[in-house]
């Protein structure tokens, strides 16, 4: 009975909501701790001319357990959102992936999300104070992993949106994720450039901005998983096109193209 009660209240869209709340709460807690409780302390891991702490500087001190726990919960629940979407599409709870290309894109997005997950968890464990080189390596894995994951899932939604124009949520999710890719990529270039140019305060400011914007990327998966509420009833589920139906559509398109050639 208890299990049935949990299932009746649980919905898959709650996973990215939980992930975003944990991530935002962790960042806000760390920022406020540095500003208020520690009075904007200059930590040992900060450079001599640095007055704004990186997230990693705060996470290498008293709040390291919070940094590790928050990073792990955030990424693991986000990865569960990826796997849930794959399962829901396979079972007709969401619009199905009807081509091999779409399925490959899904698997690539999940693979790089796992790479990003490993990067974030490891960078929180191997902090910038004690393991500076490993920390930078895992930071790159985190950023590049989730950036490539976003590119592949955005590509998937672009293909789905073309095939299923009646489902506006697909287009909305595509544009939100595309905006995330462009904004985060631009900010990441400024962040990296500021670090290389020896401007740690500018780089730290952009790092906090990039991290907070990541919250909205996580929340974009609510749009993806929300339609599964209406398909709990098997009668409302999306049907997967059979091979015959796909072949008929392709043949009709080829016939239409050939007919245009004679006009």
The model's pLDDT over 86-103, given as tens digits with 9 standing for 90+, comes to 888 888 788 887 788 888
Classify residue 112: in a domain, yes or no.
yes
Give residue 149's domain range: 13-40+50-220
Q: Report the chain's mean pLDDT, rounded to a whole number.
A: 85
C-alpha 243/C-alpha 175 separation (Å) is: 30
The total number of structural domains in the chain stands at: 1
> Is residue 232 in some structural domain?
no
246, pLDDT greater than 60: no
- pLDDT for 7 equals 55
Residue of 232, 226, 237, 236 lying closest to 8 (CA atoms) = 232
Does residue 227 lie within any of the structural domains? Answer: no
Q: What is the pLDDT of residue 256?
A: 52
- Most confident range (mean pLDDT) of 55-59, 162-166, 170-174 is 55-59
In a domain, 45, yes or no: no
Residue 113 belongs to a domain: yes
Kindly tell me if the per-residue pLDDT of 21 is higher than 80: yes
Q: Answer yes or no: is pLDDT of 258 > 60.
A: no
Establish if 210 belongs to a structural domain.
Answer: yes
Residue 226 belongs to a domain: no
230 domain-assigned? no
* Inter-residue contact 130 to 60 (CB < 8 Å): yes
């Amino acid at each position: 009975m208890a299990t049935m009660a949990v299932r009746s209240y649980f919905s898959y869209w709650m996973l990215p909501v939980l992930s975003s709340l944990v991530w935002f709460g962790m960042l806000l807690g760390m920022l406020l701790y540095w500003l208020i409780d520690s009075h904007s302390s200059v930590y040992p891991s900060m450079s001599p001319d640095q007055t704004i702490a990186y997230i990693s500087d705060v996470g290498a001190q008293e709040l390291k357990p919070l940094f590790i726990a928050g990073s792990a919960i955030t990424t693991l629940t986000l990865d569960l959102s990826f796997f849930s979407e794959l399962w829901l599409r396979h079972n007709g709870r969401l619009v199905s992936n009807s081509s091999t290309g779409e399925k490959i894109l899904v698997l690539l997005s999940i693979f790089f999300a796992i790479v990003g997950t490993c990067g974030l968890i490891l960078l929180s464990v191997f902090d910038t104070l004690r393991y500076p080189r490993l920390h930078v390596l895992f930071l790159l894995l985190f950023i590049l992993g989730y950036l490539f994951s976003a590119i592949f899932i955005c590509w998937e939604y672009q293909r789905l949106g073309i095939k299923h124009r009646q489902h506006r949520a697909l287009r909305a999710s595509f544009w939100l994720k595309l905006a995330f890719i462009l904004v985060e990529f631009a900010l990441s270039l400024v962040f990296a450039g500021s670090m290389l140019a020896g401007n740690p305060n500018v780089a730290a400011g952009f790092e906090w901005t990039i991290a907070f914007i990541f919250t909205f990327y996580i929340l974009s998966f609510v749009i993806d998983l929300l339609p599964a509420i209406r398909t709990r009833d098997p009668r409302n589920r999306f049907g997967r096109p059979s091979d015959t139906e796909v072949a008929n559509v392709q043949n009709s398109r080829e016939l239409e193209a050939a007919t245009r050639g004679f006009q």
